[in-house]
Amino acid sequence: MSAQTTQHPRTTEDDLPRPFVPLKAFFAALIVVLFAGLGMSQSAYAKYAIAQYGEPKYPQGFTHFDYVNPDAPRGGTLTLANPDRRTSFDKFNPFTLRGSAPAGVASLMFETLGIGSGDEPATVYGLLADDIAVSPDGTSVTFHLNPAARFSNGDPVTAQDVKYSFDTLISPQAAPGFKVMLSDVKGVTVLDKSRVRFDFRRVSPDLPLLVAGVPVFSPKWGVGADGKRKPFDALTFEKPIGSGPYLIESYDGGRRITFKRDPNYWGDNLPVRRGTFNFERIAYKLYTDDIVRLEGFKAGEFDAITEYRARSWVRSYVGKRFKSGELVKREFGHHNAAGMQGFIFNTRRPMFQDVRVRHALDLALDFEWLNRQLFYDQYQRIYSYFTNSDLAARGLPTPAELKLLEPLRAKLDPAVFGPMVVQPTTTPPASLRENLRQARELLAQAGWTYRDGALRNAKGEPFVFEFIDDGGSMGPVATAYARNLAKLGITLNFRTSDFALYQKRIETFDFDMISLRFPDSQIPGTELIDRFGSQSANVDGSDNVIGLKDPAVDALVAALVRSHTYEDLVASARSLDRVLSHGYYIVPHWFSSTHRMAYKSYLRFPDTLPLYYTADGWLIAMWWDSRVGKSADRH
């Protein structure tokens, strides 16, 4: 994949998220970050790339992306720790709902028809495809496959393989999120061995880019010696047959996996691949504890780490190896949209179905105290579902926003037509006390009153809810938040569980509150249907963890998806932002504009950074071992 690839992140002890990866998130994140679409005009169509506005940055015949080193040496082994919440794995198939696949399988072994660049948010270049043709009326897109494209078993990648992959992903055997994401695709037609056409149920500018992100795999994956193919959802440790640059070399009991570069990888000379995936091997060692993980890095057990906790970054990245220069600690700037991260209410729970209750709980979070006492003043408050981008709503609705909101007025809170929500602050003296006073008023209006030592509803039931986390890393934040809630008579119980149970509870919506971050997107699109759409609210494994069923939200998501100009996109995104923010479905957290990374000093990276990238994806795809070709030990 690309350095841009992200997956559903987690929040750790105090702050930024390590990725959380339910199966639905792989495809959503791949599309969101690499292929998310804007409005396209006829002039934007090109055979080698699709650009939403004007021309692609890179001309036909370009040799490599600006942010790679085309002459990077190849070789060496990059050993990493688990980059996300997975502490073990019980299968290799990343596209099914049950179980957990290891890190690296999705990004290193599978490829897509097109790939985005890291320095423009809305262009797709051919990867498996070498020609992309959108029909004049926008109802279909046809891809011509690169004749050099090969699966790891040597078979050519054909149009029939693309159709097989699509049909499998929308079948009941795959994670249900795929079917939701691809619901606007009417069908896939094999025109000949090298050409495949996707037909759409409706005209929408992002659909050609959406289907460019469909991962392709061989129908021989799972076929036994007897010629029979296992059901797709029964594939466990059958090694995938994809077209990506790496193969699984070895694995050890769900605790370690090593990928080896495919010596016959077909794509080395593609301009979108030159200077990327430079390590001969990439290994993941899985740790069950963040503290042990960090100590393992400092002891030399693996080569690089991305730190998501401010406290650890400030206090723990010290010692003789840092002092000697063997280990390097550095922050890298990025331009990623921060999106939304926070405490998410499960509105399927009766206690969270009143917006006044959710608003009250938002008022109880003291971000300034957390930032000062726990985060070393490293963060800013999340203020929008599109934080750190032009799509974030601000001030009063513009005329373009009102054009979208007015037809929905009867379905909307009147506050939506006023100023954008501003998160509470405790900077002024005694402001927390004032915030809690407002919270009490809202709770009283919603029928919750304090008596017999607790906040109770009309039935006399106390306001008690559970916040679940895997491993307890959010403990200090939860403790501080619970302390403020207790002043309102509310009891927050913090519960930890192992990752497998945690993942299962999220995918079946069996929780009161969780801490989660939605995948970043420079250009949002169809993935929002799965995240906020009514149709996905009751689909296990969908991205709609909130449980949203709001016709107004559905209408605004539809408007966003069909935006034909950037101005349309901005208006629809900001309108959606207002409605979601005034719904108080999430208590927003915080964000940073840098990636915090530590690594062994022999690792190198290009002089030019991408604009939009994840730390782990960039490391894997674009760094290299400077010792290659020199006398050095290999591990």
Phi then psi for residue 205, to 5 deg, are -60, -25
DSSP H or E stretch at residue 134 = strand 129-134
Q: What is the mean pLDDT of residues 540-559?
A: 96
Domains of the chain: 23-331+593-625 (3.40.190.10)
Note the residue count of the chain.
635
| pLDDT confidence of residue 16 | 52
Residues 399-424 pLDDT 10s: 999 999 999 999 999 999 999 999 99
Residues 21, 29: Cα–Cα separation, whole Å: 10
Find the helix packing angle between 431-445 and 355-363, rounded to 10°: 170
Q: Secondary structure of the chain: what % helix, strand, coil (to 5)?
A: 30, 20, 50
Contact 256, 80 (CB under 8 A): no
Residues 64-99 pLDDT 10s: 999 999 999 999 999 999 988 788 899 999 999 889
User: Percent of the chain, pLDDT > 90?
Assistant: 77
**40-49, 302-311, 355-364, 494-503: range with lowest mean pLDDT:** 40-49
Contact 150, 243 (CB under 8 A): yes
| pLDDT confidence of residue 194 | 98
| pLDDT confidence of residue 86 | 80
**358-362, 475-479, 498-502: range with lowest mean pLDDT:** 498-502
Map 281-341 to HEC letters.
EEEEECCCCHHHHHHHHHCCCCCEEECCCHHHHHHCCCCHHHHHCCEEEEEEECCCCCECE
| pLDDT confidence of residue 630 | 65
| pLDDT confidence of residue 44 | 40
54 — pLDDT class (breaks 50, 70, 90)? low
Read off the amino acid at residue 548.
Answer: L
Residues 278, 120: Cα–Cα separation, whole Å: 23
| pLDDT confidence of residue 526 | 84
Per the model's pLDDT, the better-predicted residue between 170 and 46 turns out to be 170
15 — pLDDT class (breaks 50, 70, 90)? low
| pLDDT confidence of residue 53 | 60
204 — pLDDT class (breaks 50, 70, 90)? confident
Residues 418, 337: Cα–Cα separation, whole Å: 25
Question: How buried is residue 236: exposed, middle or buried, by Cβ count under 10 Å (0-12/13-18/19+)?
Answer: middle
List the structure tokens of 67. 């942010």
Per the model's pLDDT, the better-predicted residue between 22 and 265 turns out to be 265
Q: What is the mean pLDDT of residues 553-562?
A: 95
Residues 157-180 pLDDT 10s: 999 999 999 999 999 999 988 998
| pLDDT confidence of residue 17 | 46
Residues 616, 134: Cα–Cα separation, whole Å: 33
Residues 571-598 pLDDT 10s: 999 999 999 999 999 999 999 999 999 9
- Convert 238-274 to b/e letters by CB count within 10 Å (16 or more is b): bbbbbbbbbbbeebeebbbbbbbbbeebbbeebbbbb
Work out the mean pLDDT of the chain and round it to a whole number. Answer: 90
Contact 456, 462 (CB under 8 A): yes
Q: What is the largest CA-CA distance in the chain?
A: 75
Residues 355-377 pLDDT 10s: 999 999 999 999 999 999 999 99
Residue 246 pairs in a beta bridge with 261
Long-range contacts of 556-561 (CB under 8 A, 24+ apart): 556/404, 556/408, 557/528, 557/529, 557/532, 557/533, 559/404, 560/524, 560/525, 560/528, 561/204, 561/206, 561/525, 561/526, 561/528, 561/529
| pLDDT confidence of residue 498 | 86
| 58 three-state secondary structure | coil
List the structure tokens of 441. 């008023």
Q: What is the mean pLDDT of residues 470-482?
A: 88
pLDDT of 32 higher than 50: no
Per the model's pLDDT, the better-predicted residue between 525 and 73 turns out to be 73
pLDDT of 1 higher than 60: no
